[in-house]
Homo-oligomer: A and B are copies of this chain.
Amino acid sequence: MSAPAITARQDARSRAPSPRPITIALLGLGQIGSAVARCASLSAGSAQPVRVACALVRDPSRDRADVPAIPLITDPRAIFALRPDAIVEALGGLEPARALVTDALERGVPVVTANKALLARHGEALLAIAVRTGTPLRYEASVLSGVPFLGAFAARPFVSITGITGIVNGTSNFILGRMGDGESLADAIAEAQRLGIAEPDPADDVSGRDAAHKLAVLAWHFGLGAFSPDAIETTGIASLEAGDLGCAGKLGGLIKPIAAVRRAADRATAFVGPAFVPLTHKLAPLGGVDNGVLLDTPGGRLSFTGPGAGPFATATTMLDDVVEAVRGGQPPPRHTPPPAGVAPPSTAWFVRLRGSELPRGDEVAEFLGSHGVWIRHAASCGQRRCLVTYAASRGRVETALGALALATGVEWLALRTLED
């Protein structure tokens, strides 16, 4: 794990006075807690430093060589004596997370959490305390951990969400993708574990439980329903075989791990499980460990996709939640001065040649190559020939094509090519 997100802003260090650091108390120092501590330690001297005042752990004697030096505490009562600006809850599970988050909100200390099990069962009650006490409660990293979108809707009553359809578990999306390529379930799980995508015990992902928790959070956050994750029809992916996915392909679709909730009047419908998705569906292209959520609104369907898990993406999102919760109000401008100039990029080019007598393909390649423009693909359609080149400046491409037109009489058109 590296932290380029922070270093990118650090070039402002010498130019802008550094604001007062935000101080957080970390609850838990597991995979996510450690990542938060590492990201925070890299923010010293940046536009908004965050300092970890203490971390609540069960066993302070455990080896934590990969974590920056932080005061470790085991007694939760010590947290508030340090007067942190915010609490970052990274314990996971229901207790003592629920009790500590409740305590913080009652004391007026802002809370940031990504604990979907906690939020799925107690989110509504916790938010009620947050509203009563006027204390921020942020949980942007609980669903699509690398994509800020939940908070964007929190204070927007005019946009109405009538339904949500998503892929909210990257591990099962990765596994089904592999099975679509013909791998067995067991091999796909083993591969996911080898790559660090699946945990040693993948039960929460494979059973759909993780997705059901996230769907309950989404339903509650967007006002579509307040219900226990246990009330959602939840199917795991363990009953699938690679051949089933091949068969779905013959019907023009893929099998994807879907979570969906919809509201009609006072009734909500929801399900979690592998579902057949036509290739034309907006979720069909979502491969690998990517996650995505579609929100249906009267004005059209909105889509939000990106990394759904990973310690670095989660820690970045949680630290941004901390900054938002503590700062509030009109955000200050970014401290890193952006470049004032701009230039066109060097990209590959799509070139269309046209004419009644087109030169031969090898002649075109040799001619353009002698002008420093190299061809990667070519195709002919009647009086047109199309090329995709390697990267070059506009000037070089236009000079080469201008010379070709002079020499052979062809007409040409050149468009930039997107490759990533």
Contact = CB atoms under 8 A, between A and B. Distances in A.
A386 B244 CA distance: 8
Interface in A279-316: 281-283, 285, 290, 292, 297-307, 310, 312-313, 316
Most B-side CB within 10 Å, residue of A159, A227, A233 = A159
Contacts of A261: 342
Given A219-B342, A227-B339, 17 more contacts: A131-B330, A146-B302, A147-B302, A148-B153, A149-B152, A155-B320, A157-B320, A225-B340, A227-B342, A253-B417, A268-B341, A269-B345, A275-B347, A275-B415, A276-B417, A282-B285, A300-B306
Given A39-B158, A152-B148, A278 B231 contact: no
A375 to B, nearest CB: 11
A330 B126 CA distance: 13
A13 to B, nearest CB: 13
A2 B297 CA distance: 12
A8 B223 CA distance: 11
Interface size range of chain A in the complex: 35 or more
A203 interface: no
Q: How many copies does the complex hold?
A: 2
A306 B339 CA distance: 29
| Majority secondary structure of chain A interface residues (helix, strand, loop or mixed) | mixed
B394 A131 contact: no
Most B-side CB within 10 Å, residue of A4, A301, A333 = A333
A262 interface: yes
A151 interface: yes
A135 to B, nearest CB: 7
Contacts of A251: 350, 377, 379, 386, 388
B243 A381 contact: yes
Nearest to A352: B244
Interface string A404-419: 0000000001011111
Interface string A197-240: 00000000000000000000001100111110001110100011
B250 A323 contact: no
A48 B154 CA distance: 13
Contacts of A285: 282, 285
Contacts of A74: none
Contacts of A384: 243-244, 247
10 contacts: A5-B159, A134-B330, A165-B418, A227-B342, A260-B345, A267-B339, A268-B341, A268-B343, A275-B417, A297-B316
